[in-house]
Structure 1
Amino acid sequence: MDQISSVNEAEEQAMTRPESFRQALDGAYTAFKGTGYYTSDAGNQLIMGDLTTDNLIISDAGRNSNASASNFEFSSDNSQTTGLFSAAYAVVSRANFVLSYLNNGVLTGAQKDNIEAEARAIRAAAHFDILRAYSVIPTQNSTAEHQYGIYYSESFNPLNNNSSRSLSVDESYKKVINDLLFAADKITQNDADKGRFSKAAVYGLLSRVYLYKGEYANTVKYGQLALGLSPSVTTLDNFNRIWKENEGLAKITDGVLFQISNAAPERNTVGVAYNQLIDGQYRSEFVADYAFFNMFANNDVRKTSYFTTALYNKKMYNHITKYAGNGGPVNIVPIKYLRTAEVLLNVAEASYRSGDEGTALTLLNQLRKERYTSFTPGAEAGTALLDAILKERRLELAFENDRWYTLKRLGLPVQRSGKGDIADGSGSKALTQTLAADSYLWQWPIPINAIQANPNIKQNDKY
């Protein structure tokens, strides 16, 4: 029998070449497109952060996908809320594979530093996604930092069955930050390639993590560093174009810090969780909540970029077409993991909470200038300023996996509008309208198969 594959190569041999490190690292980026992360429909993170909140309502015309998650029926054997757990650890494992060969003498100097920095940035990003979903967020309540964190994997061990959630939330955040600070210092990846982490992207991700941790001075510090390297929040003229690009068309990445590329051969239908195009009509799984849809002014460029109001089966719906594309395969577009606009909003909110209302207002007006076709700079102050920042955050980051986590980190409940799924607010309503701020459901359940494989992993309370 043949003992050596004619197609594949042993990893020990492959990792003796410098180019293999890049190929393996690109495999870690590709893992972000796994089921449970950014592809398919069940548990797709492009929609989970919105269908669990007041941004979306399930459509009677759809296939009932993700219905239990929308109704807060979370369970340890339902992939809608558990899928991210294994998908994110798969990303971590691939990043750790690269790091496991880092000291074999193949790479040296800046090349070695950059590969390590990218791998640790990827590892940190995936761990943070696990952390904010399955553990309490530090700003969520007064005891959060001392509660159960996550297992932070720092070595390549795919069959690991003895890990545990021994770290606290605070210790887990420090692990994420440590990896990102190393990456920020050592990374040399060209900013022109938005499909890989760059220094600006790492600084921007640090601003996100520090905002969740409640360390507002560092949110401002690293957010401003990111804005210094990548100041554009996407111009008014380019905004629609960054969402409607398809493979083969001119790719506009104005204001994008890091995206998950979606070119051949994968070309995953990342937007399928929202709708499918059938005989020229959008059949939506979820549509915009009526009250939320009406928060978008008619002169807001985001309204036409995010929504299409159209008939399906003789009924009018406010469809989400942010990921539908334009002129190419439907629902196949890059995934915007981090944008400059979010970083600006992070810094604006952190500046306000640090007592610097002047900077907060200036940044807020900078964003609004590029979203409204006619805009007079606002002059909000005090609570009205914070409300304006949070409103723009909700509008700007709609359908980008932010709303659930913003409510969670602020310790706020979900309160839906009570309107139906039809475009005028009539039709079928969500079965569950509220989720209390102190509900255990804000921490998603650890998948039962992960606990069966490793009983050391503690399940979240009440599951």
Structure 2
Amino acid sequence: MKKYIYLLTLSLIFFSCDERLDLNPYGSTGAEVALVTPADFENAINGMYTQMESANYYGANFMSFPDVLTDNLIYNPDGRQTQRVTYEWRYNANATQGAFMAQAYRVIQQANFILENIDRLEEGSQKNNIRAQALAGRALSHFNLCNLFGKIPTQSADAGSALGMPYLTSSDIRQTPARNTVSEVYDNIITDLQTAANQISSENGIERFNRNAVYGLLSRVHLYAGNMPDVVTAANQVTASVSTTANFPSIWDDSSDDGVLFELKNFDADTNVSTGVPYSQTLTDGIYSEYVVEFGLNNLYQPSDIRRFAYIDTSPFGSTGIYNHVAKYLSSSVNTGSGVVDSKVIRAAEVQLNKAEALASMTGQDGAALAALDLVRSNRYAGFVSGGETGQALKDAIQLERRLELAFEGHRFFDVKRQGLPINRTNAGEFFDGTGTPPLFLTLTASDHRFQLPIPKSEIDVNPNMEQNPGY
């Protein structure tokens, strides 16, 4: 893809938090100059993570717009009015998530460049570990791209044969690939993640892809694909525990990593990306929110739920009114920059909810599904007593807990979409009590073509093999 897989110079791409490489551009000197020693490959992998933490990807954009698209947030007309086109479902080929597409394909290109040169390393654990991380980065970015611009396998009967996104295994900027089907994309994602799981080092910390993270991501991919037994198998490989009630609030200011499987580190002196900027900015008059917690969602958090206080800050901004602000990205115990917090890509709680949903769809597994659900609920509610749900009530409880647990982390749009459901907003306004200006657009029906965002026109223009999504 000529536009969105454009190679940056290596001085931009290949750097870690500790050092920056002064190398010539790959396009002018060849790969033999760039990746030679094990240290070169380690720096290249660090560069991949840094690209993932870009403001156009997990650093900010991808942690907000999947919630902006749905019923989790209310647009504040007194805010900066960013992402309004997205919020109102008015996107088109000239106004879509092109910056996200570009950054995701940069991550993929980086991963492919590493994989193309991996045989320069001696056989052994380091080579396997670098290969595994690159495969996982390539798989996750293709997964995110396909889910946004294509259909999700469980979304509809025709989803598997529908247009996905090009699954790229080459870093060549001259390629003009056609779109793979959704089924082809998912098959490649699963293959890459399974290979990564077999080769990843057990010593990797949560700031890198690690064994728990790769199996956790496999549980997510299989859930989206409808492979329910495989969801359970992958989830059972994850050994990390769900974060405790005591530690849970500290996850969101980076003072605890309890229950986090994979996060992208964010430092003032390095990436310095304000992850929470799409939601709000902290000013002298208080929290200046662009999007606030939807009134109905706010009311779903019970007083005994630790997430009510960890996720939501109810406070005034100057004299304009009182709002339910999103609190997940307000500040860090590590960084001084406003909203410069780590991006949590996957947590143990999600894996248990993946497992619970899969089990609840299988005959005779309600007890096991309830146990997985209660692993999350018992660590979120004071004085928790299991509801003992079965059947449809259990399935509903799992979806409720999923919405409450994963709010404002970039999941809601895909959870609604993969189940073939509509987006139904209420007519509540932006203020804490539901008053204010209601949304102009309340419903996106399940069959609406806008569940697949348009391919940017600039990409269509440079790639004759790129087909636009129907309806645009």
Q: TM-score range by the shorter chain?
A: over 0.9
Equivalent pair of 1:184/1:203 in contact (CA under 8 Å): yes
Q: Do structure 1's residue 202 and structure 2's residue 211 form an aligned pair?
A: no
| Counterpart secondary structure, 1:225 | coil
RMSD over aligned Cα atoms: 1.5
What do residues 15-34 of structure 1 show as CA deviations (whole Å, max 9, x unaligned)?
22111101001111111122
Q: How does 1:48-447 map to 2 (within 5 A)?
A: 48-79=65-96, 81-104=97-120, 106-157=121-172, 159-165=173-179, 167-191=180-204, 193-226=205-238, 229-230=239-240, 232-245=241-254, 251-263=255-267, 264-314=269-319, 315-327=321-333, 328-355=336-363, 356-447=365-456
Q: Do structure 1's residue 453 and structure 2's residue 453 form an aligned pair?
A: no
Count of residue correspondences: 443
Q: 2:178 is matched by which residue type in structure 1?
A: S
Equivalent pair of 1:161/1:453 in contact (CA under 8 Å): no
Shift of residue 436 of structure 1? Answer: 0.3
Moved more, 326-335 or 173-182: 326-335
- Alignment match, 1:18: 38
Equivalent pair of 2:53/2:343 in contact (CA under 8 Å): no
Shift of residue 78 of structure 1? Answer: 1.5
Q: 1:400 is matched by which residue type in structure 2?
A: E
Moved more, 372-381 or 338-347: 372-381
In 2, distance between residues paired with 1:76 and 1:346?
A: 33
In 2, distance between residues paired with 1:326 and 1:208?
A: 28
| Counterpart secondary structure, 1:196 | coil
| Structure 1, unaligned runs of 5 or more | 246-250
In 2, distance between residues paired with 1:454 and 1:59?
A: 38
| Structure 2, unaligned runs of 5 or more | 1-10, 12-20
Shift of residue 62 of structure 1? Answer: 0.5
In 2, distance between residues paired with 1:7 and 1:45?
A: 30
| Counterpart secondary structure, 1:319 | strand
In 2, distance between residues paired with 1:312 and 1:46?
A: 23
Moved more, 261-270 or 297-306: 261-270
- Alignment match, 2:18: none
In 2, distance between residues paired with 1:206 and 1:216?
A: 11
In 2, distance between residues paired with 1:46 and 1:261?
A: 14
What do residues 98-157 of structure 1 show as CA deviations (whole Å, max 9, x unaligned)?
1121112x3321211111111101100001000111111111111111111211111121
In 2, distance between residues paired with 1:160 and 1:14?
A: 20
In 1, distance between residues paired with 2:175 and 2:471?
A: 23
Which stretches of structure 1, 4 residues or longer, exceed 6 Å deviation after superposition?
none
- Alignment match, 1:248: none
Equivalent pair of 2:59/2:343 in contact (CA under 8 Å): no
In 2, distance between residues paired with 1:35 and 1:458?
A: 27
| Counterpart secondary structure, 1:98 | helix
In 2, distance between residues paired with 1:35 and 1:447?
A: 19
| Counterpart secondary structure, 2:288 | strand
Equivalent pair of 1:35/1:83 in contact (CA under 8 Å): no
Shift of residue 453 of structure 1? Answer: 1.5
In 2, distance between residues paired with 1:399 and 1:35?
A: 16
Equivalent pair of 2:332/2:341 in contact (CA under 8 Å): no
* TM-score in terms of structure 1 length: 0.93
